[in-house]
Amino acid sequence: MLYLSCDYCVGLKMFFLSKCLKKSLGIFLFVLFVNPVFAINEIQDLEDSENSFTQENNTIELQIKKENILEKIFEPKKENKYLKKRIGEPTGSAFDLLRSSGYTFESGPIKNQKFRYFFHGGGLFNAQTHEDLSATTSIAANEFHSETLFANNKTRLLIAYNFSKKSNYSNKFFQKFSSLYLTHAFNDNQTLEIGETRVPVGYEGGISSSSIKMFSRSQIARNLGNYYSNGIKNIGNYKYLDYNIGVYDGSRSFNNNFQGYEFAALTRIKPLAKFDGKYGDLYLGGTIDSGNSANAYTVVGGHAIYNYKKLYADFEYLYANGLSGFYYGRGRAHGLYSTVGYFIHPKIELLARYDFYQNLNNNDVSQEFSTGLTYYFHPKVKLLFQYIYAMKDTSSNPSHKIYLGADFTSAFLLDIL
């Protein structure tokens, strides 16, 4: 996610516009909460967005005494977000548990505790033809979050319970956990996660809704990724290289545990890191997910991401020999997407995306052309608009979808209201 600070140089017109939008946000969120209709389409995890590869990290140039290629690639970063995260000072108020800094204990086994609420959803208007119009509420994340930092200042317990997560299995209580894991930072560059955690199947399939650019995910992310499993993974963050490598139980959402295995890895290089952002940030990466549970599957792909001032662009391709998403499958499929974004104002980002997906068993092709607009009150409080024009070989008529939604974390919403 991009962090956008307030622009004190905007004109009077934009000042009143921002005030109106803040009031509109409160009305909009009230309408969402009283709407009884729920159409679930994905699961999310806020903490993964805070630790995902999309966030920028400050780096530091270290003097290389020896011309060793491995030393350059694994040049350490300036800080680790697990170790150096701001936790605030104790104030003695229970309300601090809900603040972004959390409540800090002066003694005992727990150093800091935070409770938060995360929401990602909104209204979905869908028209197959001009006469066939339906409207529902699409809520991907309706989550309670708990984050506990222990006294060693390195170990955390993350819990996220998604009340809107679709019940597909018999263990309806446990499958609503979107995260339940311990994380431990060994040093400034190495972090270990153990428990129910997000599997990095593809780039967009491995990040949370608070990190994706569009309101809805790409087709390859919806069909091949975007899920959680019990496992252990190592996350490395270096100046020129990032990686996320882990082994997992092949089950999904605590269902049929230990019925198979899964290996998943995401690696990427940063060719422009040497220039410290002068020419932007470029990430070139690859992913692999391979396992055998209900059936054998292998999903491989590559992605590229570029950020430069107001411009954002990405591209990703995945090929699947066997499906490994929320449901298993024996089929083959592939797809790609490309997104371009530009900030037309410090708080307003204009987006466009092309999205292609093909089932290789029956050669059915699905294409989506999207455009969107995002207004940022804060990096973790935003309003979203997205229009999708979709075509499928199996449908004689194209469909039109409009999403009007919100994405917010309670602690940061309290900061601006």
More confident call, 138 vs 132: 138
Q: How confident is the model at residue 131 (pLDDT cuts 50, 70, 90)?
A: low
Report yes or no on 322 lying in a domain. Answer: no
Kindly report the backbone phi and psi dihedral angles of residue 14, in degrees, each rounded to the nearest multiple of 5, phi listed first. Answer: -70, -25
Report yes or no on 387 lying in a domain. Answer: no
Q: Given this model, what pLDDT does residue 69 score?
A: 59
Report yes or no on 348 lying in a domain. Answer: no
d(CA 122, CA 319) in angstroms, rounded, equals: 31
Q: Given this model, what pLDDT does residue 144 score?
A: 96
More confident call, 360 vs 46: 360
Name the 3-class secondary structure at 197: strand
Report the percent of the chain where pLDDT is more than 70: 74
Q: Given this model, what pLDDT does residue 357 score?
A: 96
Q: Given this model, what pLDDT does residue 391 score?
A: 93
Report yes or no on 241 lying in a domain. Answer: yes
Q: Which tokens in the block code for residue 53?
A: 């590869």
Q: What is the mean pLDDT of residues 330-356?
A: 96
d(CA 247, CA 199) in angstroms, rounded, equals: 9
Q: Does position 41 have pLDDT exceeding 50, yes or no?
A: no
pLDDT tens for residues 222-233?
Answer: 999 888 889 999
Report yes or no on 275 lying in a domain. Answer: yes
Q: Which tokens in the block code for residue 213?
A: 């650019």
Q: Given this model, what pLDDT does residue 324 score?
A: 72
Q: Average model confidence (pLDDT) for the chain?
A: 80
Beta strands in 54-163 (DSSP E): 103-104, 110-127, 133-150, 155-162
Q: Does position 352 have pLDDT exceeding 90, yes or no?
A: yes
Q: How confident is the model at residue 256 (pLDDT cuts 50, 70, 90)?
A: low
Report yes or no on 134 lying in a domain. Answer: yes
More confident call, 385 vs 172: 385
Task: For residue 172, give its domain range.
Answer: 12-292
| 180 alpha carbon, distance to own chain's centre | 16
Torsion region of 298: left, alpha or beta (phi above 0 gives left; psi -120 to 50 gives alpha): beta
More confident call, 229 vs 383: 383
Q: Does position 27 have pLDDT exceeding 70, yes or no?
A: no
Which of 332, 403, 406 shows the shortest CA–CA distance to 363? Answer: 332
Query: Residue 222: in which H helix or E strand, if any?
Result: helix 219-224
Q: Does position 21 have pLDDT exceeding 70, yes or no?
A: no
Q: Does position 24 have pLDDT exceeding 60, yes or no?
A: no
Report yes or no on 75 lying in a domain. Answer: yes
Report yes or no on 205 lying in a domain. Answer: yes
pLDDT tens for residues 108-123?
Answer: 999 999 999 999 999 9
The residue with tokens 């979050």 is: 145
Query: Residue 16: in which H helix or E strand, if any?
Result: helix 12-34
Q: Does position 297 have pLDDT exceeding 80, yes or no?
A: yes
pLDDT tens for residues 163-201?
Answer: 988 766 667 788 888 889 999 999 989 999 999 988 999
Q: Does position 64 have pLDDT exceeding 60, yes or no?
A: no
Q: Does position 32 have pLDDT exceeding 80, yes or no?
A: no
DSSP assignment of 178-232, as one string? EEEEEEEE-SSSEEEEEEEEE--SSSGGGS-TTT-SSSS--HHHHHH---EEEEE
The pTM score is: 0.78
Range with lowest mean pLDDT among 122-131, 267-276, 299-308, 356-365: 122-131
Q: Given this model, what pLDDT does residue 331 score?
A: 85
Number of domains in the chain: 1
More confident call, 417 vs 32: 417
More confident call, 395 vs 265: 265
Q: How confident is the model at residue 3 (pLDDT cuts 50, 70, 90)?
A: very low
Q: Does position 272 have pLDDT exceeding 70, yes or no?
A: yes
Name the 3-class secondary structure at 359: strand
Which of 247, 242, 289 shows the shortest CA–CA distance to 267? Answer: 242
